[in-house]
């Protein structure tokens, strides 16, 4: 049964990954009336699959090109650090940190180049070369230089849960297939949103000033629903590797020239087993391989970049995922991407680390908030709430022990 007239809201966000949840926090704090709509589990797609490194731009300068976006991303670690310490909004004091820093190491000796590039680009965080006695045991026998980079690594599931718990009353779960309908006066000018409560079949009509898509790869479908052309997004696949066993904690990149040969981050599963999530070049080239071939390749790569790695009693798995970004003329965007068409904003952060910058830019594009009607939450208090997506090591169906 329809409710009594459409709800008037400043903004409706579609997609509760890292980008949408950060934006929800910012919009609420700035006094906007806003709801976030999620069709699956929060963070499903990229945020939950990501390695959670809060990049400061070094990765972008490895090739020696110094672009304006490097300056933008170099602000991000400080911005996140303040939130993670609970010193500014959004407060992320319940988000678990996997590490305060990453290691950078090389199989050959190119460190001097790395350091110089970082300094030249005006990065806020540059690698600091470690003396042999400062190296972690696992990297002690690496032939090249080992450095420390003060980029934090977060547990992305706890980040999603932290933010969504704070804003639970503003988040609605809607079923993907038939739960969302847009009425528009012309493509990209949404006059009415119709949502269906999957529990009660009750309909909610919303008259939004702004509609913001932060649904990652789901942006394409939403844009179609809003009558917009859908050539604005590219998907870049990754085939990631997971290693489970008694390995030590390790977070960082093995750098080979301009490429990150492997990026390793360490998580824990629900049984307190260590999980190494392994990305970088390995995951890019792994797209062409089946899981067994990729695991074989990963084993060789790991033993070659970490000479004293012990792989006894380990098990292996892989997962595939897509990075969803705005289409760009070059290979990949380096900064956030925001399209504004009519009253619809489509946004991709490009990196989780850039979520604060994305929010800031979107807020600056909005008109002042309407007179706040606090009553709007009472109309959605009985709606289903989405849960946080499970990380890949909890959902993978097959682990390989013998390879």
Asked if 14 is part of the footprint of ligand FAD (rule: CB under 6 A), the reply reads: yes
Q: Spell out a b/e string for 32-48, using b for 16 or more CB atoms within 10 Å of the CB, else e.
A: bbbbbbbbbbbbbbbbb
**How far apart are CB 194 and ligand FAD at their closest, in Å?**
14
The residue from 56, 57, 216, 280 that contacts ligand FAD (CB under 6 A) is 216
Residue in 33, 47, 164, 388 binding ligand FAD, rule: CB under 6 A: 47
Residue 49 in the binding site for ligand FAD (CB under 6 A): yes
- 7, 34, 35, 53: which one contacts ligand FAD (CB under 6 A)? 53
Give 37's Cβ-side CA count (13 Å radius): 27
List 117, 204, 242, 321, residue binding ligand FAD (CB under 6 A): 321
Residue 312 CB, nearest approach to ligand FAD (Å): 27
Member of 351, 356, 383, 391 binding ligand FAD (CB under 6 A): 351
Q: What is each CA distance from 363 to 25, 162, 213, 359, 390, in whole angstroms?
A: 11, 22, 14, 6, 30
Q: Classify the phi-psi angles of 286: left when phi > 0, otherwise alpha if psi is within -120 to 50, otherwise beta.
A: alpha
User: Toward ligand FAD, which CB reaches closer, 46 or 99?
Assistant: 46
- Rounded to a whole number of angstroms, the minimum distance from the CB of residue 153 to ligand FAD is 8
CB of 133 to ligand FAD, least distance (A): 29
> Considering the rule CB under 6 A, would residue 73 count as an interface residue with ligand FAD?
no
DSSP assignments along 303-332, one per residue? HHHSTT---TT-EEEEEEEEEEEE--SSSS
Cβ closer to ligand FAD: 142 or 174? 174
Cβ 36 to ligand FAD, closest distance in Å?
8
Pick from 214, 251, 318, 343: which binds ligand FAD (CB under 6 A)? 214
Q: Please report whether residue 57 would count as binding ligand FAD according to CB under 6 A.
A: no
Interface residue with ligand FAD among 242, 282, 305, 353 (CB under 6 A) is 353
Which of the 8 DSSP states describes residue 290? -
Give Cα 237 to chain centroid, integer Å.
14
The residue ranges of DSSP E strands in 59-159, in sequence order, are: 97-99, 102-106, 128-129, 146-149, 153-154
DSSP 155-213: -HHHHHHHHHHHTGGGEEE--TTTSEEEEEEETTEEEEEEEE-TTT--EEEEEEEEEEE
φ/ψ bin of 68: left (φ > 0), alpha (ψ from -120 to 50), beta (otherwise): alpha
Cα 89 to Cα 159: distance, rounded to the nearest angstrom: 13
The alpha carbon of 40 is separated from its chain's Cα centroid by a whole number of angstroms, namely 16
User: How many Cα atoms are found within 13 Å in the side-chain-facing hemisphere of 266?
Assistant: 17
Which of 42, 84, 295, 305 lies at the binding interface for ligand FAD (CB under 6 A)?
A: 42
Size of the site for ligand FAD (CB under 6 A): 40
> Contact between 240 and ligand FAD (CB under 6 A)?
yes
Candidate residues 139, 163, 238, 336; the one interacting with ligand FAD per rule CB under 6 A: 238
Query: Which residues from 217-236 bind ligand FAD, rule CB under 6 A?
Result: 218, 221-222
Contacts of ligand FAD in 360-399 (CB under 6 A) = none
Binding track, positions 273-312, relative to ligand FAD; x by CB under 6 A: ------x---------------------------------
Reduced to 3 states (helix: H, G, I; strand: E, B; else coil), residue 11 is strand
Other CB atoms within 10 A of residue 57 CB: 28
Residues lying near ligand FAD in the complex (CB under 6 A): 14-20, 37-40, 42-47, 49-53, 55, 214-216, 218, 221-222, 238, 240, 279, 321, 323, 348-353
């Amino acid at each position: 049964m329809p409710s009594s007239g459409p709800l008037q809201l400043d903004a409706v966000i579609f997609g509760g990954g890292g980008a949408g949840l950060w934006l929800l926090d910012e919009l609420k704090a700035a006094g906007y009336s806003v709801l976030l709509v999620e069709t699956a589990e929060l963070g499903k797609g990229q945020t939950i699959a990501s390695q959670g490194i809060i990049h400061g731009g070094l990765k972008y300068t490895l090739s020696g090109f110094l672009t304006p976006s490097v300056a933008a991303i170099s602000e991000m670690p400080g911005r996140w650090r303040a939130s993670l310490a609970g010193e500014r909004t959004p407060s992320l004091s319940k988000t678990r940190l996997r590490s305060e820093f990453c290691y950078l190491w090389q199989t050959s000796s190119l460190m001097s180049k790395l350091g110089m590039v970082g300094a030249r680009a005006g990065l806020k965080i540059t690698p600091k070369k470690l003396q042999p006695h400062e190296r972690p045991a696992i990297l002690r026998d690496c032939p090249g230089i080992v450095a420390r980079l003060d980029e934090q690594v977060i547990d992305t599931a706890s980040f999603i849960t932290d933010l969504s718990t704070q804003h639970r009353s503003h988040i609605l779960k809607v079923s993907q297939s038939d739960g969302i309908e847009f009425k528009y006066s012309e493509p990209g000018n949404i006059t009415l949103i119709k949502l269906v409560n999957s529990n009660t079949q009750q309909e909610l009509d919303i008259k939004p000033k702004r509609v913001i898509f932060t649904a990652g790869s789901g942006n394409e479908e939403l844009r179609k629903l809003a009558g917009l052309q859908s050539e604005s997004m590219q998907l870049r696949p990754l085939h990631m590797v997971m290693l489970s066993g008694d390995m030590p904690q390790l977070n960082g990149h093995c750098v080979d020239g301009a490429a990150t040969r492997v990026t390793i981050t360490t998580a824990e599963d629900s049984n307190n087993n260590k999980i190494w999530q392994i990305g970088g070049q390995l995951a890019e080239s792994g797209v062409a391989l089946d899981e067994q071939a990729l695991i074989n390749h990963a084993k060789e790569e790991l033993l070659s970049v970490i000479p004293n790695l012990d792989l006894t009693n380990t098990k292996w798995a892989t997962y595939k995922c897509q990075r969803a970004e705005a289409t760009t003329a070059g290979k990949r965007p380096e900064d956030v991407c925001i399209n504004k068409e009519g009253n619809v904003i489509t946004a991709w952060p490009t990196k989780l680390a850039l979520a604060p910058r994305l929010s800031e830019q979107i807020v600056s594009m909005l008109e002042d908030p309407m007179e706040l009607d606090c009553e709007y939450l009472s109309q959605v208090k009985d709606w289903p709430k989405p849960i946080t997506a499970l990380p890949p090591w909890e959902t993978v169906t097959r682990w390989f022990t013998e390879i």
